[in-house]
Amino acid sequence: MADFGMACHQAVSFHPSMLRIPEAEAVFWPGCALLQLDGGILEKTLEVLRRGEPGIRLATGCCGQPTAYLFPEKQGKRADTLARLLQKRGVKRIYTACPNCTVQLRQLAGFEIIPVWGVLAAYLTQRDIRMPAGKFVWHDPCPTKNDPGQLTAARRLLEISGCDFTEPAHTGARTICCGNYHMMEFRDPEKQKKMRARRLAELPADRVILSNCEGCLSAFRGGGRETCHLLELLFGRSKSRGWNNRIQTTLKAPVR
């Protein structure tokens, strides 16, 4: 049943009505999971990114990571579809907010993939910040552990926000997986639960788990923990999460 659900997810995500990429040299690529946040958070992110990349526009595509690990027989065709569409739209630079999208899109030739965190750290001002109250513990997602630029930029944003945060024993390049590495939640649910429990043991129960990976945070919410995405820390809590937000944001996104 889980495979069927993800098969539907990927089929819908790669349908032309959902794969909306504008004609622009630079696009902001939130990825499937972050598109489920309130659209206002993504609009504010885009506003700050435009200070460094004035012509940047929103793209509502899927990177295809679920297909790569759950339905590999379809990966080649979907990757080719995505690459051709990006080329057709004249895209040269893709600004990513999802660590998994960053890894996946870097496998496509001909595009510069730029994580948003360094750009946000360079152009964010105190007036932009709508930080929610709370005490936090920071979690680095696996795809960023060997990327010093992303690790440094995320911590710079934490400093700019002024939030009360701590880090666990294993952090940065030594981070521990949330359990959903390479779609583990669907490939081996029991192993995923054990990995998640190991990580949660290091994250104090009296602090909100904070990260720049919505996939990790979804796994932690599955373990009963309160979470906050880094974009929520900067631009305010999302009132809801779900496909309704994704559909509304996608339908508003122009493709010309």
Give residue 256's pLDDT. 66
Whole-number mean pLDDT of the chain?
A: 95
pLDDT in tens, 80-111: 999 999 999 999 999 999 999 999 999 999 99
Residues 6 and 80 grouped into a single domain: yes
> Are 212 and 163 within one domain?
yes
Same structural domain, 83 and 24:
yes
- The answer on 78 and 107 residing in a single domain is yes
DSSP string, 120-135: HHHH--GGG--PPSSE
- Chain segment 189-206, per-residue pLDDT in tens: 999 999 999 999 999 999
Residues 102 and 180 in one domain: no
Residue 117 and residue 243 share a domain: yes
What average pLDDT does the segment 199-227 reach? Answer: 97
Among candidates 35, 68, 92, which has minimal Cα distance to 253? 35
What residues are paired with 228 via a beta bridge? 210
9-60 tens-digit pLDDT: 999 999 999 999 999 999 999 999 999 999 999 999 999 999 999 999 999 9
| Domains: count for the chain | 2
Mean pLDDT of 55-74: 94
Question: Is-contact 67 100, C-beta < 8 A?
Answer: no
**Burial of residue 88, with CB atoms counted within 10 A of its CB: 0-12 exposed, 13-18 middle, 19 or more buried:** exposed
Q: Is the domain of 189 the same as that of 154? A: yes
- Same domain? 9 vs 88: yes
> Is 179 found in the same domain as 81?
no
Shared domain check, 182 and 108: no
Q: 138 and 111 in one domain?
A: no
Q: Domain with 25 in it: what CATH number?
A: 3.40.50
Average pLDDT for residues 115-144, to the nearest whole number? 97
Q: What distances in angstroms separate CA 214 from CA 33, 98, 221, one per listed residue?
A: 6, 7, 10
Asked if 111 and 25 sit in the same domain, the reply is yes
Task: Tell me how far apart the alpha carbons of residues 46 and 95 are, in angstroms, rounded to a whole number.
Answer: 10
Q: pLDDT class for 1, splitting at 50, 70, 90?
A: low
Percent of the chain with pLDDT over 90: 91
Mean pLDDT of the 149-153 span: 98
Domain range for 7 is 2-121+239-252
Give me the pLDDT at residue 5, please. 87
DSSP assignments along 164-209, one per residue: EEE--SS-GGG----S-GGGHHHH-HHHHHHHHHHHHTTS-TTSEE
